[in-house]
């Protein structure tokens, strides 16, 4: 192996030049990148090399000789160690600038000429998450809640999760203390034994309704009635308690089977004036105030006048579809998850929406069928997962050729790739609007509108 410019355990003084998309500082030694957790651009730092690879190295920050004006005092080192808030040491305005710059850099690499607007941030960039999935493990002989240290399976006990709704933090502690009181064992992933794996809590931002999901390795949970009674007595906001079975030795949090223990199989919340029922396995955006900002941007980007036909290609439980339906002639939603389609239809009924129809299937297949049936869409709305649009879906867009595509993205890398692919069908991205859905983290959400000349 060729000799690298730095070696493991070497101590160096470096100047930080940039941040990676993961929020790590980047310094260079003879052009060789050194990635440093917790370092910011412009800082001169003494670092300890912990790993040296052929093309890059990782280093630990020891001391700072100069400090960035954008550095702020972190709330708690645990939030960085667990990855809950990897940008907590970066001032919030600088976080917003970092996110817009990430998109610009990716566009530049992809040779895309797309203007990127300044990121829309939050007035209060903490305590925003309406959903938590907290691991439970045995620590010092008792069930303990917390978060894993990054790149490890070591649980760091935590009681305040900083970016979560504080009422959710309280609920997690209530459940943890009940597990301790009744001696209900936590899961042991090394042996795939024990009982409670995770505590999932959802809370409606506007409704204040709360759902508790106990994720268990087995249906046979000791003292289950006592746990339910204790939760409802301590947390009057709870409208739903669910037992979720996950028997497999896996990192996946939720299993596919659930059993109702108390209340309704959903909680309700509202978004831009529409009511939504959210079931345990449903996808629902975790930052409610910024979701309203994001969806408002999407509606504005669509330029709806009330005469348009809209296809929502990843419609989920209908949040974007029903928002669009207020401004469009007709909305067609397509979704691959049966439970989500059922939720979407129920949510349309709940809100008295008659101009939205939801279909189960793969978007690319359903869109091809709609095209053959003569359906013309004026606007195609896409909000795909992190992996972006499948090549088959891009091909389906090339068959249907709607005049406008509104792309809500949670991953700028796949967004840039997909814009480049859509350009092959004559689409041009006119602008991208980043929206900070996840303050203190490196995640980036955005809305991009693409138009096609007829």
pLDDT in tens, 360-376: 999 999 998 998 999 99
* Burial classification of residue 9, based on how many CB atoms lie within 10 Å of its CB (0-12 exposed, 13-18 middle, 19 or more buried): exposed
What percent of the chain shows pLDDT beyond 90?
A: 93
Which sequence positions are flagged as catalytic? 410
All CATH 2.40.50.1070 domain ranges in the chain, comma separated: 131-271
Residues in the chain: 454
Question: What tokens does 136 get?
Answer: 């439970």
Residue 58: closest CA among 80, 25, 36, 31: 36
Residue 312 CA to its chain's centroid (Å)? 19
φ, ψ of residue 380 in degrees (nearest 5)? -110, 125
Q: Give tens-digit pLDDT for 218-249.
A: 999 999 999 999 999 999 999 999 999 999 99
Q: Give tens-digit pLDDT for 312-370.
A: 999 999 999 999 999 999 999 999 999 899 999 999 999 999 999 999 999 999 998 99
Q: Give tens-digit pLDDT for 40-60.
A: 999 999 999 999 999 999 999
Tracing tokens 């100047």 back to the chain, one arrives at 15
End-to-end CA distance of the chain: 56
Tracing tokens 């790590």 back to the chain, one arrives at 24
Architecture of domain 104-122+287-452: 3-Layer(aba) Sandwich (3.40)
Q: Residue 3 half-sphere exposure, CB side, CA atoms within 13 Å?
A: 2
Gap between the Cα atoms of 412 and 389, Å rounded:
12
Q: Give tens-digit pLDDT for 134-189.
A: 999 999 999 999 999 988 889 999 999 999 999 999 999 999 999 999 999 999 99
Fold of the domain spanning 11-71: OB fold (Dihydrolipoamide Acetyltransferase, E2P) (2.40.50)
Q: Which CATH number fits domain 131-271: 2.40.30.10, 3.40.50.170, 2.40.50.1070, 2.60.120.620?
A: 2.40.50.1070
Q: Is the pTM of this model over 0.75?
A: yes
Residue 414: closest CA among 436, 444, 453: 444
Contact call for residues 317 and 284 (beta carbons, < 8 A): yes
The strand pair at 379-382 and 356-360 is best described as: unpaired
**DSSP-based helix, strand, coil % in the chain, nearest 5:** 25, 30, 40
């Amino acid at each position: 192996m060729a000799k690298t410019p730095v070696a493991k355990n070497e101590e160096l003084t470096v100047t930080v030049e940039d941040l990676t998309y993961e929020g790590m500082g980047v310094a260079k030694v003879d052009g060789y990148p050194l990635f440093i957790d917790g370092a910011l651009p412009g800082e001169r730092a003494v670092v300890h090399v912990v790993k040296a690879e052929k093309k890059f190295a990782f280093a630990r920050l020891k001391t700072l000789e100069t400090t960035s004006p954008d550095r702020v005092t972190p709330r708690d080192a645990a939030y960085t160690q667990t990855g809950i808030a990897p940008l907590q040491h970066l001032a919030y305005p600088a976080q917003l600038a970092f996110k817009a710059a990430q998109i610009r850099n990716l566009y530049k690499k992809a040779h895309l000429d797309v203007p990127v607007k300044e990121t829309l941030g939050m007035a209060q960039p903490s305590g925003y998450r309406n959903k938590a999935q907290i691991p439970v493990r045995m620590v010092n002989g008792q069930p303990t809640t917390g978060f894993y240290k990054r790149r490890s399976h070591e649980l760091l006990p935590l009681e305040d999760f900083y970016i979560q709704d504080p009422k959710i933090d309280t609920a997690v502690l209530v459940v943890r203390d009940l597990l301790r009181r009744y001696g209900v064992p936590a899961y042991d992933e090394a042996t795939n034994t024990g009982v409670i794996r995770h505590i999932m809590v959802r809370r409606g931002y506007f409704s204040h309704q709360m759902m508790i999901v106990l994720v268990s390795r087995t249906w046979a949970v000791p003292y289950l009635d006592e746990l339910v009674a204790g939760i409802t007595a301590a947390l009057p906001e709870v409208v739903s308690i669910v037992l979720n079975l996950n028997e497999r030795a896996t990192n996946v949090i939720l299993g596919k089977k659930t059993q109702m223990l108390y209340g309704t199989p959903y909680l309700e919340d509202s978004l831009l004036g529409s009511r939504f029922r959210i079931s345990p396995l449903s996808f629902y955006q975790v930052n409610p105030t910024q979701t309203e900002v994001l969806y408002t941007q999407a509606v504005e980007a669509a330029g709806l006048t009330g005469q348009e036909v809209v296809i929502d290609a990843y419609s989920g439980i209908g949040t974007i579809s029903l928002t669009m339906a207020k401004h469009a002639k007709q909305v067609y939603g397509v979704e691959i998850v049966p439970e989500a389609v059922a939720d979407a239809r129920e949510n349309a009924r709940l809100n008295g929406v008659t101009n939205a129809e939801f279909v189960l299937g793969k978007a690319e297949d359903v869109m091809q069928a709609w095209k053959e049936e003569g359906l013309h869409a004026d606007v195609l709305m896409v909000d795909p997962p992190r992996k972006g649009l499948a090549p088959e879906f891009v091909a389906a867009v090339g068959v249907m050729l709607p005049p406008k595509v509104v792309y809500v993205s949670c991953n700028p890398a796949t967004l840039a790739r997909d814009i480049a692919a859509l350009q092959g069908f004559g689409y041009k991205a006119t602008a991208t609007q980043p929206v900070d859905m996840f303050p203190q983290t490196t995640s980036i959400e955005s809305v991009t509108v693409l138009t096609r000349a007829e």
